[in-house]
Structure 1
Amino acid sequence: MNHAIVIGASMAGLLSAAALHAKFARVTVLDRDAMPDDDEHRKGVGQSRHAHALLARGHEAVERLLPGITAELVAQGAITSDVQRNARHIHCGQRHARVESGMTGLLASRPMLEGQVRRRITALPGVRLLPDSVAAGLLVERDRVTGVRLAGGEPIPADLVVDASGRGSRTPFWLDELGIVPPAEEHVMLDVRYGTREFRRRPGDLDGDLIVVVAPTPDKPRGGVALAMEGDRWIVTLVGYGQAPGRSLAGFAEFAADLPALDLHRLISTAQPIGEPQVYRNPAGIRRRYERMTRFPDGLLVTGDAVCAFNPRYGQGMTVAALEALELLKTDLRPLPFFKRVAKVVDGPWQITVDDDVRLLHAASTLSLKKRLLNAYLERFHAAAAHDQELALRFQRVANLYAPPLSLITPGSLVRVLRNGSPRATSVPDPESVPREASERSTRST
């Protein structure tokens, strides 16, 4: 095949271009932004100033699409880390046991990660990136998309067009113009509000840990993460449902003091702040059900946030985009078979986010009996995972998209939860109150 067009130079668009390069002689990536020369934030990536990390499975997928990129990023200061060994995961107020998971995540700022991916993509023969270019419509002949029309009126013919333009995708409107009913949409109202600050990272911070995740609980619907990143920095993002941390350092620390654990508050209170605070708001998660359509024009595919825009608190977006890009390497690029494959990629992470957001946002009395039972089980699961390394590992396999959510309620998991997840169970100690060796012995002994 000769020419493919990708709309959007997001991570989804860039990784799609990497996959399409293996099948098309030419690939053109369009983006409305002017592309920065250096690794800088840009207007079209509204969340780039907040915490980003590639989940372990996403890290693998990006390395497969762009072999050697991990080494390139590490040479620039990115950090690879076992997702459980050097991390503090606190869920339902329980501090998960540590274990060598064998799953490696990648810690880097979004500008550096995207910048290096963009450099790799644009260095590929036959690939070109056109900044300041807006796809205003589709070229169509006999129910087949044959290219795009730019805002200035210029037509660009192509054998395949991939829309990776994000949650503001125009594809539903273009389908309507063609007389095709757009896909059904599912919305989860969130009103998630973020505040982010960077801090100087010093040897010995967090006793050498590189990741802190404190998940919200129904009684405290606020959480946060701290991630080590290049330049000896921490990036700390605090999140609340319908509430946000104050912009001042004191307000930021005060918000962190009311999280289900104090790890982030201690870090914020002792580390040197860098730069200005950043804020972000996400009103809703949205999923477009392209896989359920019965009519769709050939020559057009949709991927990334244009298919499903997750609650970014869970850190799944870049990983899902990378997994969807791998689907472009397969032989069958007809729209409906492609959308069915993408739906299988999206189903697990969408279920994780929706179920957890419902648990946080709705009073237990308003939930179905099935939901209440599941929530009660998950509370016991996390209590057990404070002592049981195998359960902590199983949770990380789900969180890193290697296993489906149902794997947490297999017979083997049920037995371990019943044995170790009594409501009277006491979580493993706060690592800042006891030496690391003693804390790890307490989890190994179970």
Structure 2
Amino acid sequence: MELLGERAVVLGASIGGLLAARVLADHYHDVTIVERDVLTDLPTARRGVPQGRHGHVLLARSSQILAELFPGFADELAADGVPSSTGSQMSRIRLSLNGHLMVHSADGETTDDSTLYFASRPLLERNILRRVQALPNVTLVDGHDVTELTATPDGDHVTGVRIADQVHATRHTIPADLVVDATGRGSRTPVFLDKLGYSRPSEDELVVKLAYASQLLHIPDGTLPENLFAYFPAPGRPRTWTLVRYEHDTWMMTLGSMVGRPAPANRPEMLAWGEGFVDERALSAARAATPLSDVEHYRVPSNRWRRYDKMKRFPQGLLVFGDAICSFNPIYGQGMTMAAIEATLLSECLRRGDQALPQRFFRAAAAKLRVAWQTAVGSDLTLPEVAGPRPLPMRLSNAYLDWVMTAAETDSPTAVQLLRVTGMLDSPLRLLRPAFVGRVARVNGLGRGPRSEGNRGPRPIPSQPSLGKPRATRI
């Protein structure tokens, strides 16, 4: 493969940064990763990834991409004791979406060979880091802060990055043909652009004021047959409750509260959080579990999309990647998967050369981000407690999805197709195919017995609620 330059520099050893480095290694003679934290080979949470101490699920599409980028990666997860299940094993998950409890049927009613892996975030990062560091042309420079970008006198082309050693207080410059910012939601690229004479990107934002509380637990093998219990917020209940199985009989219990309401402060409050809407077996297992960590807290103010794709001027030799472009309400688990998808887009762009690379990459990323953004923001806005505009197309889409979720309470093929869309394997357009719409109509026309929390029939399309003037809410 023809090389495009001498060196590419990646800022941040996040999962997004590591995947970007993996792709860049095919196109540049050397790739240097600069990371603030001092990294080890132990699968432990680190300061620079505070969300690593909270629940994560690797969506099916990201599992596929990791297997493509790192052949044998799934085998390594299995060797590390990571549990897994196929996409059709509805008996291995207990999932409530918008108050609709998905069918919990015996397996085999439908076929989906995609695989879900339930690895802890620290283990996943450690295994990806090992693979990237094994590449002969990749170098990791950890324990360093990024202080500024260097550029040509006219600012048209970024030429490198200046970094500072945290221990020795020394500074030096790394020249680069391409710099990729993968430093996450706190990215300083808007500030760097300002210093180079560019405007800052506009932002789309929906304020959700999410608060998390998590605790790592030990639950003995055989206690629960499921790998995941996930109860997402529902109208009138802007709370979430998640219990996910990780490697070696460890489980992460993560509870969340939206719209500024406080998350549980301690373990007793956590154990009472799910009463009334969570499976009693899961609650009992959590009560009997052995805590392996303190209760950790985390806050996310909003969904935020920095619209680099809309900038009229942007320097060559610079890209922004992953959460540094767009960060979602994390309860939907889209962040790692979008980073993996962006890695495939970056690879496609690089195969066509580096001419106008930022513009081509940002446009390609925006097309994928738009779907994920509409999913996350649309889901948040099903909650009347969340302030924000609800245009007619969104209200119609949410009403239709509510109808689909009603069918998914009792019909496995409907539930599996819905999960393939939320897992980013299939386009949302698959939910509009005539055969699928017909199936949903037939299922919803059948008589039923008692139904789940969300089984109240299709909810009316919400009108624009009177919630006061939305603040920092731009869709």
TM-score, normalised by the number of residues in structure 2? 0.85
- Structure 1 15/183 Cα, relative in aligned 2: closer, same or farther at 3 Å? same
Which one of the candidate residues 274, 279, 295 is aligned to 1:256? 274
- 1:183: which partner in 2? 201
- 1:294: which partner in 2? 312
Mapped contact 1:223–1:260 kept (Cα < 8 A) = no
- 1:162: which partner in 2? 180
Give the C-alpha shift of residue 412 in structure 1. Answer: 3.0
Spell out the pairing of 1:5-20 with structure 2 (5 A cutoff).
5-20=9-24
- 1:275: which partner in 2? 293
Give the C-alpha shift of residue 260 in structure 1. Answer: 5.8
Please report the RMSD computed on the Cα atoms of aligned residues, expressed in angstroms. Answer: 2.3
Mapped contact 1:137–1:150 kept (Cα < 8 A) = yes
Spell out the pairing of 1:407-426 with structure 2 (5 A cutoff).
407-421=430-444, 425-426=448-449
Mapped contact 1:36–1:42 kept (Cα < 8 A) = no
Deviations 1:229-268 (CA, angstroms, capped at 9, x unpaired): 1121111111111334433332112111143654542332
SS in 2 for 1:105: strand
- 1:441: which partner in 2? none
2:143 is the alignment partner of 1:132: yes
2:418 is the alignment partner of 1:400: no
Mapped contact 1:213–1:225 kept (Cα < 8 A) = yes
- 1:236: which partner in 2? 253
Mapped contact 2:381–2:387 kept (Cα < 8 A) = no
SS in 1 for 2:84: strand
Q: Percent of aligned pairs with the same residue?
A: 37
Match of 1:298, as an amino acid?
Q
- 1:440: which partner in 2? none
2:155 is the alignment partner of 1:147: no
- Structure 1 149/93 Cα, relative in aligned 2: closer, same or farther at 3 Å? same
Give the C-alpha shift of residue 33 in structure 1. Answer: 1.2
Which one of the candidate residues 86, 93, 100 is aligned to 2:99? 93
Give the C-alpha shift of residue 36 in structure 1. Answer: 2.8
**Structure 1: how far apart are the matches of 2:377 and 2:281?**
26
Deviations 1:173-203 (CA, angstroms, capped at 9, x unpaired): 1112222222211111011111112222223
SS in 2 for 1:360: coil
Give the C-alpha shift of residue 426 in structure 1. Answer: 4.5
Deviations 1:110-151 (CA, angstroms, capped at 9, x unpaired): 111111111221121021111111221111114111111124
Give the C-alpha shift of residue 164 in structure 1. Answer: 0.4
Match of 1:131, as an amino acid?
D
Give the C-alpha shift of residue 11 in structure 1. Answer: 0.4
Which one of the candidate residues 381, 385, 388 is aligned to 2:404? 381
2:34 is the alignment partner of 1:30: yes
**Structure 1: how far apart are the matches of 2:196 and 2:404?**
49
2:233 is the alignment partner of 1:213: no
Deviations 1:285-311 (CA, angstroms, capped at 9, x unpaired): 110111122221111111010010111
Which sections of structure 1, spanning at least 5 residues, go unmatched? Answer: 431-446
**Structure 1: how far apart are the matches of 2:439 and 2:450?**
15
SS in 2 for 1:174: helix
Select between 85-94 and 210-219 the one with higher mean Cα deviation: 85-94
Match of 1:279, as an amino acid?
H
**Structure 2: how far apart are the matches of 1:263 and 1:68?**
35
Give the C-alpha shift of residue 429 in structure 1. Answer: 8.0
- 2:459: which partner in 1? none
- 1:118: which partner in 2? 129
Which sections of structure 2, spanning at least 5 residues, go unmatched? Answer: 165-169, 454-475
Spell out the pairing of 1:303-342 with structure 2 (5 A cutoff).
303-330=321-348, 331-332=351-352, 333=354, 334-342=357-365
Give the C-alpha shift of residue 56 in structure 1. Answer: 0.8
Deviations 1:28-54 (CA, angstroms, capped at 9, x unpaired): 000111113422111100100111121
Match of 1:335, as an amino acid?
P
Give the C-alpha shift of residue 392 in structure 1. Answer: 0.7
- Structure 1 429/256 Cα, relative in aligned 2: closer, same or farther at 3 Å? closer
Count of aligned pairs between the two proteins: 429
Select between 270-279 and 415-424 the one with higher mean Cα deviation: 415-424
- Structure 1 259/387 Cα, relative in aligned 2: closer, same or farther at 3 Å? closer
- Structure 1 133/203 Cα, relative in aligned 2: closer, same or farther at 3 Å? closer
Match of 1:77, as an amino acid?
G
Select between 112-121 and 149-158 the one with higher mean Cα deviation: 149-158
2:65 is the alignment partner of 1:61: yes
**Structure 2: how far apart are the matches of 1:384 and 1:265?**
26
- 2:116: which partner in 1? 105
**Structure 2: how far apart are the matches of 1:362 and 1:412?**
35
Select between 192-201 and 414-423 the one with higher mean Cα deviation: 414-423
Which one of the candidate residues 67, 75, 79 is aligned to 1:75? 79
- Structure 1 67/366 Cα, relative in aligned 2: closer, same or farther at 3 Å? closer
Select between 367-376 and 172-181 the one with higher mean Cα deviation: 367-376
Deviations 1:311-352 (CA, angstroms, capped at 9, x unpaired): 110111111111111222222341101111111221221111
**Structure 2: how far apart are the matches of 1:423 and 1:375?**
22
Deviations 1:81-130 (CA, angstroms, capped at 9, x unpaired): 22441212222333222454322111111111111111221121021111
Give the C-alpha shift of residue 361 in structure 1. Answer: 4.5
TM-score, normalised by the number of residues in structure 1? 0.90
Select between 360-369 and 2-11 the one with higher mean Cα deviation: 360-369
**Structure 2: how far apart are the matches of 1:167 and 1:366?**
24
